[in-house]
Chain A
């Protein structure tokens, strides 16, 4: 009897190809996506370089040596604007570098403040710290660069110490402790200046809220679009097509419903994030609403395309699970994109999760005005329109055979 139960189950699985797909293929696909994200051995790219700007307000040989050594690190990519010619550019003042970080162009800027070298050479006062102007939405970059500065500055200062060692050798123990060279035996001070999070309540939560919201927006939309296939199966679609309703009106109605439900879904999620975690939704309402409307609209069109391409609800669910999980993984809904290799970050740009999340980050993290959302809005609106047109074309199979 037990064997019969097992046999029936296996036979049903064998006859239902979708179940086999979900059981065996989806885990492999999903594993492969995450392997590409985390494993640099596969060949799609190495660990990401940290983009940063270098600022020298000290203008001394020591500060130049330090920044030049940093610029040679393979783990860093120093900001090199075309107008300043080839090679790494070192800013003379902090303002333009800070603007780049605030605009989201770079996650970090290393600043050697004015008087840093002098403070190292003087024993009377505490040495000035280097400053790391950080966008802490990418905490990994901050930690990597902090470690690199410590390593590089140690090497630079060791060289300086070697040059002065002869002088030091003639000093007594007390005189050595009072000399500047003693400073070189201590690690250089680094102050991390978070340019974003300082005056915000739980800003990182808003990014995760956006990531999760976009993923479930897609799942919700696909669930809703599946009603088309149910209507096909029970001939309600035939009845509708015999009425005054056109296919375009039917799809537009479904799309509008999915968009409105999606907007409410994301809004409820962020409202909860505000209540429970202090995310400042009300303070970013215009940007949030614009991003949510276009994201929900794009998700609705995406779901319509899937529904019009699939033969039945089971197939739709299988395809949707694979696509949405992959898009969410690559687009940053599950894992922040900054931990991915550069290649995978570029691949992620093919998903609209990535564009949606970039938009929400601009709104909640960078406090950028609506005009700065133009790239994300353009991509998402275009996605919504193009996918709706594709859905309309593929839905022709339901109109007349």
Chain B
């Protein structure tokens, strides 16, 4: 069954995608958590879902998993409309919390969640063995989860969500609270799944994860998807591709065209399309105006600047 699912995920991308969310609305009393949110997770894609706190990420994930029922809208998986609950055998879910039994061993947890997901007999044994190897925790298989480090718990937490080898995987902040080394390990695990064809949707507060580990990015705010695309596309559509150059001066200089100055006129900022061509000319103009540049920074447009541009807020606000 797992092989069938992976095979399905490897099938050339069709129009339907692995997961498609259309105009989903979800209200809690007078609060609208999702206000027509929609996104597409393509087959074999890694998609990052970003948004400030309270933007609707968790509600969207819960709707996709069947833990919340949308008031309106549709959710499709491989072209089939998902019912409000059930019918999500092809979907793996990894919650943000360590959703494990701390007083069971790693193996016992894996066996329990394997059984809850319908695995039995040799298939269960094989899946547990695979998961222990995949997480690199085979030698700790008989240790209680509560004795594990945060990173190790995270790895087992993810493994429990993919025992059935689902072709679509949802991860809610899979690396929160782990050290950089464990984070690398977790992304290496996810990359292995991705290379095998798994389509991955993850929510994260780590912009670098979205930039470096995902193929596309979806930004959600106030319950609506406000941007969707690759990093390059998002930059081009929002802040533009110009570099931001900041000159720090030893002393104040007179006003210069094309350069914004702070109140003390000791810091100048410019938007530069071609750094190699325009930067030398600017340095000459500053020197001719009597200024002496003590420091210089060139900022490339980033997801952070895109995010601030779109939401007006930091990611964790």
Known: A236-B100, A239-B99. A401 touches B93 (CB 8 A): no
List, in ascending order, chain B residues with CB within 8 A of A245's CB: 116
List B residues 105-122 near A (Cβ within 8 Å).
113, 116-118
Contact present for B67 and A400 (CB under 8 Å): yes
Q: Tell yes or no: A5 within 8 A of B by CB.
A: no
Among B67, B88, B89, the residue within 8 A (CB) of A401 is: B67
Docked-complex contact A242 and B93, CB < 8 angstroms: yes
- CB of A242 within 8 A of CB of B98, answer no
Q: Are A244 and B117 in contact (CB under 8 A)?
A: yes
Q: Which chain B residue lies CB-closest to A231?
A: B99
In the complex, the answer to whether A239 meets B68 with C-beta atoms within 8 Å is no
A238 CA / B85 CA spacing, docked (Å): 12
**Which residue of chain A has its CB nearest to the CB of B170?**
A242
* Cα–Cα distance between A238 and B96 once the two chains are bound (Å): 10
For the complex, give the distance between the alpha carbons of A399 and B66 in Å.
9
- Docked CA distance A242–B161 (Å): 10
Q: Return the chain B residue nearest A398 by Cβ.
A: B67
Q: A242-B91, A243-B113 are in contact. Are A400 and B99 (CB under 8 A)?
A: no
Complex alpha-carbon distance, A193 and B21, angstroms: 82
A238 to B63: give the CA distance in the assembly, Å: 12
Q: Which residues in A have their C-beta under 8 angstroms from that of B89?
A: 244
Judge whether B203 is part of the interface by a CB distance below 8 angstroms.
no
Within 8 A of A (CB), among B51-97: 62, 65-69, 84-85, 88-89, 91, 93, 95-97
Q: Which residue of B lies closest to A246 (CB)?
A: B86
Asked whether A289 is an interface residue with its Cβ less than 8 Å from the other chain, the reply is no
Interface size on B, residues (CB 8 A): 26
Judging by beta carbons under 8 Å apart, are A399 and B85 in contact?
A: yes
- Is B50 in contact with chain A by the CB < 8 A criterion? no
A236 to B66, CA, bound (A): 15
A235 close to B (CB within 8 Å): yes
Given A238-B99, A239-B113, A242-B65; A400-B84 close (CB under 8 Å) = yes
Measured CA separation A235–B101 after assembly (Å): 11
Cβ of B268 under 8 Å from chain A? no
Q: Which of A223-248 contact B (CB under 8 A)?
A: 233-236, 238-245
Q: Across the A-B interface, how many residue pairs have beta carbons closer than 8 Å?
A: 55
* Least CB separation from B157: chain A residue: A239
- Residues from chain A with Cβ under 8 Å of B68 in the complex: 400-401
Contacts of A401 in B (CB 8 A): 28, 62, 67-69
**Nearest CB to that of A400 among chain B residues?**
B69
A234 near B116: Cβ-Cβ < 8 Å? no
- Interface bits B247-278 vs A (CB < 8 Å: 1, else 0): 00000000000000000000000000000000
- A317-375: which have CB < 8 Å to B? none
Instruction: Choose among B65, B67, B88, B117 the residue with the greatest number of A CB atoms under 10 Å from its CB.
Output: B67
Q: SS class of chain A's interface: helix, strand, loop or mixed?
A: loop
A236 to B160, CA, bound (A): 11
Residues of A within 8 A of B100 (CB): 234, 236
Cβ–Cβ contact B85 & A239, under 8 A: no
Whether B65 lies near A234 (C-beta < 8 A) is: no
Report A262 CB to chain B, min CB distance, Å. 20
Render B22-52 as a binary contact track against A, CB cut-off 8 A, 1 for contact: 0000001000000000000000000000000
Judging by beta carbons under 8 Å apart, are A400 and B96 in contact?
no
With both beta carbons as reference points, the residue of chain A lying nearest to B172 in the complex is identified as A235
Q: Whole-angstrom distance between the alpha carbons of A399 and B69 in the complex? A: 10
Residue-wise, chain A 387-401 has the 8 Å CB interface mask toward B (1 for contact) of 000000000000111
In the assembly, what is the distance between CA of A234 and CA of B66, in Å? 18
Given contact pairs A242-B91, A243-B113, A243-B117, A235 touches B69 in the complex (Cβ within 8 A): no
Tell me if B93 and A234 are in contact (CB < 8 A).
Answer: no
Report whether A238 and B95 are in contact in the complex, using a CB–CB cutoff of 8 Å: yes
User: Please, which residues of chain B bring their CB within 8 A of the CB of A400?
Assistant: 66-69, 84-85
In the complex, A243→B67 CA distance in Å? 11
The CA of A234 and the CA of B116, in the complex, are separated in Å by: 17
Once the chains bind, are A243 and B28 in contact (CB under 8 Å)? Answer: no
Residues of A within 8 A of B62 (CB): 238, 401
**A239 engages B95 (CB within 8 Å):** yes
When distances are taken between beta carbons in the complex, the residues of chain B under 8 Å from A243 are: 113, 116-118
Determine the residue in chain A with the shortest Cβ distance to B64: A242
A234 vs B69: C-alpha distance in the bound complex, in angstroms? 21
A312 to chain B, nearest CB (A): 14
* Complex: chain B residue closest to A234, CB-CB: B97
Distance of A99 Cα from B134 Cα, bound (Å): 74
26 A–B pairs (Cβ distance < 8 Å), ordered by A? A234-B99, A234-B100, A235-B96, A236-B97, A236-B99, A238-B67, A238-B93, A238-B99, A239-B93, A239-B95, A239-B113, A239-B161, A240-B116, A241-B67, A242-B66, A242-B88, A242-B91, A242-B93, A243-B113, A244-B116, A244-B117, A244-B118, A245-B116, A400-B68, A401-B28, A401-B62
Residues of B within 8 A of A (CB): 28, 62, 65-69, 84-85, 88-89, 91, 93, 95-101, 113, 116-118, 160-161
List 13 additional contacts besides A241-B66, A244-B118; criterion CB under 8 Å: A235-B97, A238-B99, A239-B99, A239-B113, A240-B116, A242-B93, A243-B113, A244-B116, A244-B117, A399-B85, A400-B84, A401-B28, A401-B68
Nearest 6 interchain pairs by C-beta: A235-B95, A243-B116, A235-B97, A236-B99, A235-B99, A239-B99
